[in-house]
Amino acid sequence: MSLFDLQGRTAIVTGSSRGIGRAIAERLAEHGARVVISSRKPEPCHEVAGEINARHGAGRALAVPANISSRSDLASLVQRTRDAFGPVSTLVCNAASNPHYGPMSSIPDDAFRKILENNILSNHWLVQLVVPDMRALGEGSITVISSIAGLKGQTTIGAYGISKAADLQLVRNLAVELGPLGIRANSIAPGIVRTDFARALWEDPVLRAQMENSSPLRRFGEPDDIAGAAVFLASPAGRYVTGQTLVIDGGGTIA
């Protein structure tokens, strides 16, 4: 059996209608998993699920729109996944938000609260919802998409960085708590990836040149650069990895 074989696995990937989340869902499906595509807007979810089904066969992907700020939406997401594909064995928490760009001194309370709720609390809710399935299976993989913003001080995305640093601790706690049940929890900390979420960074020619020149690989990341790590963590190849953070940033944090 291939170390990366995901046949028989059921995966939920939040924020998977575009960018990193979409790449992860597509690659999980490519390696045999049944995947649930989820984000706020229904149309993009159905589009991605339709493309995966066209490529890999009907029934490989399901679109279930959900707002990560709503616990009831997330509960429905998990239940609809069970109804369609059976117990959830793989969870990838990719969806996140950052409504404030600027110093911490100017962030409104409601924006700070939204960042913490969407980037930390929603992940906690989803884990609580899928752990019963993983417990019954005797195994499971939880991957939280964090960011190198959680590893460095920030002047413009400080609250976002705080939320992403909390995600690193979240997976460490989960790894210790759930490890005896055969459930693994890890995070991925991407650098700047060419997605709509980071468009303001990679479209600015001056900022882009500065950042690319400071990176050993001299380029920004692409969604597939992150997707491969997510497949690894979900697959038998990653079965002895838990509580860890994989930094995927082209070497930017060590340069």
Contact of 223 with 22, CB cutoff 8 Å = yes
Given the structure tokens 């493309």, which residue do they identify? 51
Q: What angle do CA 193, 24, 71 make, to 5 degrees?
A: 100
**Contact predicate 35/13, CB 8 Å:** yes
Residues 94 and 12: their CA atoms lie apart, in Å, by: 10
CATH of the domain at 57: 3.40.50.720
Indicate the number of domains in the chain.
1
Return the pLDDT at 207: 79
Q: Which strand ranges, in their side-by-side order, compose the sheet holding 140-145?
A: 61-63, 34-38, 10-14, 90-93, 140-145, 183-190, 245-248
**Length of the chain counted residue by residue:** 255
Could you list the active site residues? 160
- CA-to-CA separations, 142 to 128, 159, 187, 200, in angstroms, rounded: 11, 24, 8, 30
- Per-residue pLDDT of the chain (255 residues), as tens digits, is 699 999 999 999 999 999 999 999 999 999 999 999 999 999 999 999 999 999 999 999 999 999 999 999 999 999 999 999 999 999 999 999 999 999 999 999 999 999 999 999 999 999 999 999 999 999 999 999 999 999 999 999 999 999 999 999 999 999 999 999 999 999 999 998 988 877 777 777 887 888 888 889 999 899 999 999 999 999 999 999 999 999 999 999 998
Q: What is the pLDDT of residues 152-179, one digit of tens each?
A: 999 999 999 999 999 999 999 999 999 9
Q: Is residue 3 part of a domain?
A: no
**Amino acid 74: pLDDT:** 98
Cα–Cα separations (whole angstroms), residue 229 to 63, 147, 189, 242: 23, 14, 10, 13
Assess if residue 121 is contained within a domain. Answer: yes
Residue 5 covered by a domain: no
Write out pLDDT tens, residues 59-90. 999 999 999 999 999 999 999 999 999 999 99
Q: Is residue 166, in this structure, part of any structural domain at all?
A: yes
Is residue 78 included in any domain, yes or no?
Answer: yes
Range of the domain at 174: 10-254
